[in-house]
Chain A
């Protein structure tokens, strides 16, 4: 048992600092909208601050993700999601600089990001939380308040969809 309280500014700030980025990312995986993801996350933290007395410190993380999810469902219209790669990202084979290879990889990247955009929300959030945030399945399960089995299921169905989309074209 911890007697840390989120109503205490020190603990709240600590909690905020360590989770704002992943909360914002989570909102982004769901909405694919860069402009609203931080707002959603901020909104969720405000909710937590307002209800700090009711929230157990150990449950706060999954509460945060639940709130983001609810806010997303309430606010964001389901629009086509758009993802982009970071500008300076290395290719898989760093040594191969032949124009053919580079072109091939660029094509692959376009296919991939479109395929990711076509995933269901559930598949996408799990897949990207694993890939981008480097979160383990168990961690994701905890945050989303689902079983680890469910996370693995979403993960493999995401992979299956991505592979058929990319190989099929």
Chain B
């Protein structure tokens, strides 16, 4: 089964929780474990927070969130049209932050890479950034608990 969503919203801090909620709802039919759900929610939260903090530092701008689910394969895209990243390799280094004075831990990209199978970052200065992340939901990632959702349909291929 293929499912796909596209959502545009402004880079307001309160939309970080909104984006996580949307992704949770999108993934529920796959019946992932709570642990897998938390990991993917974290990866989305990091990408969206980067847009709020770094892409649009002065005024809110547009964030585009796309999610695709196909036979347990998940692809997430978080795109902005903000200021872009001048050195992607440096930005992705664990514990590097361009804003350490704001108590940024510099772990955003490292967490996306830990929690997703594959992370690609495309960025052009002055034009924006797109983060593409994929993860395959394996059999081990599926929840055995049926009482939560009231469903017992396992993923079918």
Are A and B genuine complex partners? no
- Chain A residues with CB under 8 Å of chain B are none
